């Protein structure tokens, strides 16, 4: 065995931490980015969905590149690209540059991340893999915990006056250290049966996914123009063509981008469906949650990040217990308990947000966050093991790539759909909330009431929530100094109540998304996994 394998593992875990931290850290910085760069709601979605989408579409290809050209070489290439992209994100002068740099980060991560599990597999003896995977899972949990907290701290403290840019600058020293460590301690490896790179399949997959995701991300903001409808319709034949070509590629030389025969395995096919739908829920939940707390209730980024700690701690702790004990004993019932726990967590948070209103605190969120974290821990780690259980060893690499890609695509879909619901509801709820608030504020003159309502609906119905619409400017100019404080207080109350009602409404939609997830779990094999297989 390689005597430097544990040092190499340290590098792999650091790279895993860097990727997951970057995927989670930007959420708490979104309001700061909006204020600084004037980012619209579309840009906010593009920053998050752009990373996950570009990551997802090249994950399987990235793994195949490692098989062909060497996993160490591709790992170094991916880390170097990630560092360069992080520097570009930190230097972004406008939203277009930031969105493009985030997409480049996703592309680099797609080259880097698939090599991690592949290198673990070829570097460690079978009896060591269980311990290594446990460390890998712990690092994932640590990144989930650290993301919101580190992001909130960096945004609030703004080291060297960098503000939100510091969340990207932090990747530079970490990435350079990973490059040096990988160069010194990691040994090269590739597949003895490496397949050809499926260029046509890769292009068809990218085009099909873009035709699907771009309308979902931009359609609502642009009032669903004709091109968005055409793109959605065109996605179906492109994806169908991809499937036909992959079958042809399999018959021709046995080197398709996606091994379609994997989907004939019951556990794999149903598990991928669960993965796709389930991954959408937490991604959309946390984006809308951040906007609600920071944009609506005025919480700081650090306060928001600290509120997520119960969730972040529960995921690795309960996940480890589920893999070691609960899943071997109860099989798919463990997964169902996870889905139901998450549903209860989302529904309870929706009720609590509505009940407590603007007075909600981090303490109120603890029970719901514990249910959410426990549910994810009960479902995700055992699901991955169950999906791979019936996959033959020669197909394990491709299967792992498909699972990771599906998770990322689900996250991008969740960001597009759930945040779309959030922004749409925000615009429609502003008027009714204003009608309830303004009459109760006696100090608001009758002639100002309609102007206050117009200002509230205009400010909450626009793409960029940080901008001041003309109606609000005119309201401030026409009012006397004595009434300005009263009007400002009324507008603040309308904003807070609108965000509260909107977020509660959005959460009920998110909870509904877990219903089909629970139904799909019944399609999974019922047999339990033996303890020695989970070691």
Span between the terminal Cα atoms of the chain, in Å: 20
Q: Which residue has the tokens 């299967």?
A: 399
Average pLDDT, integer, range 282-286? 81
Residue 384 CB partners (closer than 8 Å, separation 6+) = 403
Q: Taking the alpha carbons of 323, 367, 418, 45 in that order, is the dihedral positive or negative?
A: negative
Alpha-carbon distance 446 to 514, whole Å?
46
pLDDT digit string, tens, across residues 442-490: 656 666 777 788 888 888 877 667 677 888 887 776 765 556 677 777 8
Q: Are 457 and 433 in contact (CB under 8 A)?
A: no
pLDDT of 81 above 90: yes
pLDDT of 104 above 80: yes
Across 30-39, 55-64, 510-519, the highest mean pLDDT is recorded for: 510-519
How many CA atoms are closer than 13 Å to the CA of 263, on its beta-carbon side? 10
Q: Are 449 and 441 in contact (CB under 8 A)?
A: no
pLDDT digit string, tens, across residues 379-406: 887 777 677 666 665 565 666 777 777 8
Alpha-carbon distance 32 to 29, whole Å?
5
pLDDT of 251 above 90: no
Alpha-carbon distance 14 to 19, whole Å?
9
pLDDT of 374 above 50: yes
Q: Which residue has the tokens 């990435």?
A: 175
User: CA of 459: how far to CAs of 168, 338, 427, 496, 512, in Å?
Assistant: 30, 39, 9, 13, 29
The whole-model pTM stands at 0.78
Alpha-carbon distance 124 to 163, whole Å?
41
Nearest to 250 by CA among 264, 271, 235: 264
Q: Taking the alpha carbons of 288, 290, 293, 294 in that order, is the dihedral positive or negative?
A: negative
- Residue 442 has a CB neighbour count (10 Å cut-off) of 7
pLDDT of 535 above 50: no
Q: Angle 394-398-401 (CA atoms, 0-180°, nearest 5)?
A: 145
Decide: residue 58, CB within 10 A, 0-12 exposed, 13-18 middle, 19+ buried.
buried
Average pLDDT, integer, range 197-214? 82
pLDDT, the chain, mean: 81
Q: Are 60 and 402 in contact (CB under 8 A)?
A: yes
pLDDT band, residue 147 (cuts 50/70/90): confident
Alpha-carbon distance 336 to 341, whole Å?
8
> In this predicted structure, what is the pLDDT of residue 141?
59
Q: Which residue has the tokens 């080259």?
A: 111
Q: Are 464 and 39 in contact (CB under 8 A)?
A: yes
Nearest to 177 by CA among 2, 18, 62, 69: 18
Nearest to 422 by CA among 344, 500, 368: 500
> In this predicted structure, what is the pLDDT of residue 267?
80
pLDDT band, residue 532 (cuts 50/70/90): very low
Nearest to 72 by CA among 111, 106, 29: 111
Q: Angle 38-150-304 (CA atoms, 0-180°, nearest 5)?
A: 65
> In this predicted structure, what is the pLDDT of residue 422?
85
Alpha-carbon distance 497 to 360, whole Å?
12
Alpha-carbon distance 533 to 129, whole Å?
12
Mutual angle of helices 114-123 and 5-25, in 10-degree steps: 160
pLDDT of 348 above 80: yes
Alpha-carbon distance 108 to 129, whole Å?
26
Alpha-carbon distance 54 to 356, whole Å?
39
Mutual angle of helices 396-437 and 114-123, in 10-degree steps: 140
pLDDT band, residue 192 (cuts 50/70/90): low
What the block records as the tokens of 215 is 């309308």
How many CA atoms are closer than 13 Å to the CA of 187, on its beta-carbon side? 12
């Amino acid at each position: 065995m390689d005597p430097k394998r544990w040092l190499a593992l340290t590098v792999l875990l650091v790279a895993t931490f860097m990727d997951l931290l970057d995927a989670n850290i930007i959420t708490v910085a979104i309001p700061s980015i909006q204020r600084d760069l004037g980012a619209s709601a579309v840009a906010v979605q593009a920053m998050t969905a752009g990373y996950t989408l570009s990551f997802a579409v090249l994950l399987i290809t990235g793994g195949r590149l490692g098989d062909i050209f060497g996993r160490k070489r591709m790992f170094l290439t991916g880390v170097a690209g990630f560092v360069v992209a992080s520097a570009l994100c930190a230097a972004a002068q406008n939203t277009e540059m930031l969105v493009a740099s985030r997409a480049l980060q996703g592309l680099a991560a797609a080259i880097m991340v698939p090599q991690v599990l592949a290198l673990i597999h070829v570097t460690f003896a079978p009896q060591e893999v269980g311990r290594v995977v446990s460390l890998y899972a712990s690092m994932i949990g640590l990144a989930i915990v650290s993301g919101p907290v580190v992001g909130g701290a960096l945004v609030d403290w703004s080291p060297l006056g960098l503000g939100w840019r510091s969340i990207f600058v932090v990747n530079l020293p970490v990435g350079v250290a990973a490059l040096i460590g990988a160069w010194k301690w990691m040994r090269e490896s590739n597949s003895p049966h490496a397949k050809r790179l499926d260029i046509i399949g890769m292009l068809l997959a990218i085009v099909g996914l873009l035709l699907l995701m771009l309308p979902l991300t931009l359609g609502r903001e642009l009032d669903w123009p004709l091109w968005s409808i055409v793109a959605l319709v065109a996605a179906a034949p492109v994806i169908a063509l991809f499937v036909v070509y992959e079958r042809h590629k399999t018959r021709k030389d046995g080197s398709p981008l996606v091994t379609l025969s994997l989907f004939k395995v019951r556990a794999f096919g149903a598990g991928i469906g669960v993965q796709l739908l389930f991954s959408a829920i937490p991604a959309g939940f946390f984006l809308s949650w951040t906007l609600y707390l920071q944009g609506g209730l005025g919480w700081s980024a650090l306060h928001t990040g600290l509120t997520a700690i119960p969730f972040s701690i529960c995921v690795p702790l309960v996940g480890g217990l589920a893999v070691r004990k609960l899943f071997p004993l109860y099989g798919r019932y463990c997964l169902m308990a996870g889905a139901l726990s998450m549903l209860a967590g989302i529904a309870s948070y929706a009720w609590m947000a509505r009940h407590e209103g603007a007075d909600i605190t981090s303490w109120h969120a603890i029970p719901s966050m514990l249910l959410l974290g426990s549910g994810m821990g009960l479902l995700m780690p055992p699901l991955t093991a169950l999906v791979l259980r019936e996959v033959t060893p020669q197909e394990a690499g491709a299967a792992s790539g498909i699972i990771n890609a599906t998770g990322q695509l689900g996250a991008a879909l969740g960001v597009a759909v759930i945040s779309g619901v959030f922004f749409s509801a925000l615009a429609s709820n502003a008027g009714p909330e204003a009608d309830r608030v303004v009459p109760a504020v006696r100090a608001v003159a009758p002639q100002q009431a309609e102007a206050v309502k117009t200002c509230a609906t205009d400010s909450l119905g626009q793409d960029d929530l940080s901008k001041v619409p003309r109606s609000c400017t005119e309201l401030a100019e026409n009012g006397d100094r004595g009434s300005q404080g009263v009007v400002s207080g009324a507008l603040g109350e309308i904003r807070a109540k609108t965000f509260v009602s909107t977020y509660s409404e959005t959460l009920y939609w998110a909870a509904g998304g877990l219903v089909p997830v629970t139904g799909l779990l019944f399609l999974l094999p019922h047999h339990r996994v033996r303890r020695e297989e989970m070691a």
